[in-house]
């Protein structure tokens, strides 16, 4: 991409949708998973910090920065479970990728869709090293905005082709079944979580509630399953009964952040967990036996967003689906910012 430095490529929602379709949704998920895996394998190269969260009564607004010394990225994201009642999304996001050398932005992108894609790609990446071999059936508890993305990533990366859906709102499960109709899954809509987890080797929990909830209780969790817990991602917001955590081998993205936000906020700080990057880099084992219960306690970490922005930036070379934003004031003489402003006055009048 040849470009003037003051003009920033901008991928709006429309262009993001065009980009995903041009690449193909499952191919996009696989490509994205590949970049996330590559970045997780060089984990020590990154600046890492638990995200900066601003909590309010109904939600949270968060900033998620990281850098590998060459590129810097951050995402703005919110989580407002009550929003859907007013026709608004629970989660919306946008993000920026910048050049560390100059500090200039290289890309501004919508990230509501991209977050759903990167969350699903990361979940499937984790499941590839944690789920029981040959797993083909997944229960999805919570059939909102993230659900179809999760299903497709698990199919693309693991070959999951049977889904058991449950949502407290049956219309959400129907929506998910409708959206996935053309993708060749065998889909069963279930009456309860208990019913949905029957026969599933993988259980994805992706509900939204700003409180401690018990979506899964201990009696629902049989030996050998993999739990992909997505929805508990804030202080005071969890999905699993603590007894399940005591029976599981727990894998997290970045432990200092997950201890604040994840299911493991219910455990002591000493409780052992493994960071996913250690498994992907061959420094720690994933699943150890067929009977082990594995838990990916996902909250979403800045490096996944960094990888996603990197993947989008690289994809724009082949698929130029962006517009240009005149985002940076850039006078010909760098110190004459005020002069540039003065000279602009007649043309604005
Ligand atoms: P959403 O509001 O679109 O969907 C949530 C669904 O959960 C709704 O259909 C709701 O009816 C259902 N639900 C609520 N309580 C339930 C229960 N007890 N049993 C069954 N279903 C229930 O939200 P979304 O965008 O799909 O996000 C879901 C959750 O995932 C949110 O909490 C969000 O913060 C989280 N999330 C996590 C990550 C991550 O990286 N880990 C990324 C994105 C979103």
* CA 252/CA 264 separation, integer angstroms: 9
Ligand 1 centroid to 231 CA: how many Å?
A: 5
Q: What's the whole-model pTM score?
A: 0.96
**Distance from residue 230's CA to the centre of ligand 1 (Å):** 8
**Which is the closest atom of ligand 1 to the Cα of 169?**
11
Q: Whose CA is nearest to atom 41 of ligand 1?
A: 299
Asked whether 206 lines ligand 1 (CB < 6 A), one says: yes
Which atom of ligand 1 is closest in space to residue 232's alpha carbon?
A: 32
204 touches ligand 1 (CB under 6 Å): no
Three-class HEC string of 259-282: HHHCHHHHCCCCCCCEEHHHHHCC
The beta strand positions in 12-92, using DSSP E, are 52-55, 60-67, 71-79
Rounded to the nearest angstrom, the distance between the alpha carbon of 189 and the centre of ligand 1 is 17
Distance CA 219, CA 338 (A): 68
Cα-based angle 65, 70, 73 (whole degrees, multiple of 5): 20
* 233 flagged as catalytic: yes
Pocket of ligand 1 contains residue 91 by CB under 6 Å? yes
In the DSSP assignment, the letter for residue 123 is H
pLDDT of residue 187: 98
- Report the separation in Å between the CA atom of 144 and the middle of ligand 1, taken as the mean of its atom positions: 6
Confirm whether 7-113+303-343 and 132-299 share one CATH topology.
Answer: no
CATH class of this structure's domain 132-299: alpha beta
Decide: 9 in ligand 1 pocket, CB within 6 A: no
User: Domain segments of the chain: what residues?
Assistant: 7-113+303-343, 132-299
Which of 116, 166, 208, 299 has most ligand 1 atoms within 8 Å of CB, for mutation?
208
What pLDDT was estimated at residue 2? 46
Q: Would you identify the CATH topology of the domain 7-113+303-343?
A: ornithine cyclodeaminase, domain 1 (3.30.1780)
User: pLDDT of the chain along its 349 residues, tens only?
Assistant: 445 677 999 999 999 999 999 999 999 999 999 999 999 999 999 999 999 999 999 899 999 999 999 999 999 999 999 999 999 999 999 999 999 999 999 999 999 999 999 999 999 999 999 999 999 999 999 999 999 999 999 999 999 999 999 999 999 999 999 999 999 999 999 999 999 999 999 999 999 876 778 899 999 999 999 999 999 888 888 999 999 999 999 999 999 999 999 999 999 999 999 999 999 999 999 999 999 999 999 999 999 999 999 999 999 999 999 999 999 998 999 999 999 999 998 765 5
- What is the model's pLDDT at position 211? 73
| Test site for ligand 1: of 79, 81, 85, 91, most ligand atoms within 8 A of the Cβ | 91
Distance from C-alpha of 274 to C-alpha of 277, rounded to nearest angstrom: 9
Please tell me the distance from the alpha carbon of residue 106 to that of residue 309, in angstroms, as a whole number.
10
Which atom of ligand 1 has the smallest separation from the CA of 300? 40
Give me 42's structure tokens.
């060089």
């Amino acid at each position: 991409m040849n470009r003037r430095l003051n003009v920033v490529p901008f991928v709006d929602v429309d262009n993001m949708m065009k980009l995903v379709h041009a690449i193909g949704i499952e191919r996009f998920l696989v490509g994205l998973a590949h970049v996330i895996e590559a970045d997780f394998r060089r984990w020590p190269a990154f600046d890492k910090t638990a995200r900066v969260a601003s909590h309010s009564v109904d939600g949270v607004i968060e900033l998620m920065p990281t850098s590998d010394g060459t590129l810097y990225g951050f995402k703005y994201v919110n989580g407002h479970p009550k929003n859907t009642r007013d026709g608004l999304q629970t989660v919306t996001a946008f993000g920026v990728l910048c050049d560390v050398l100059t500090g200039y932005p290289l890309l501004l992108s919508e990230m509501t869709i991209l977050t759903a894609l990167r969350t699903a790609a990361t979940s499937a990446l984790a499941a590839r090293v944690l789920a029981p071999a040959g797993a083909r059936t997944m229960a999805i508890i919570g059939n909102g905005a993230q659900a179809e993305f999760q299903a497709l990533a698990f199919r693309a990366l693991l070959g999951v082709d049977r889904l058991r859906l449950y949502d407290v709102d049956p219309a959400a499960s129907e929506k998910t079944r409708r959206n996935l109709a053309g993708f060749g899954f065998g889909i069963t809509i279930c009456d309860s979580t208990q019913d949905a987890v029957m026969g599933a080797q993988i259980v994805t929990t992706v509900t939204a509630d700003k409180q401690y909830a018990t979506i899964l209780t201990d009696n629902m969790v049989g030996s050998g399953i993999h739990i992909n817990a997505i929805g508990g991602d804030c202080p005071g917001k969890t999905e699993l009964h603590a007894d399940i955590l005591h029976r599981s081998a727990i894998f997290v993205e970045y432990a200092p952040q997950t201890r604040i936000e994840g299911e493991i906020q219910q455990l002591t700080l000493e409780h052992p967990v493994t960071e996913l990057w250690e498994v992907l880099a061959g420094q720690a084992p994933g699943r150890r036996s067929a009977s082990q219960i594995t838990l990916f306690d996902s909250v979403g970490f800045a490096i996944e967003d960094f990888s996603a922005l990197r993947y989008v930036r690289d994809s724009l070379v082949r698929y130029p689906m962006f517009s240009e934003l005149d985002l940076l004031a850039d006078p010909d003489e760098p110190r004459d910012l005020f002069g540039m402003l003065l000279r602009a006055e007649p043309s604005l009048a």
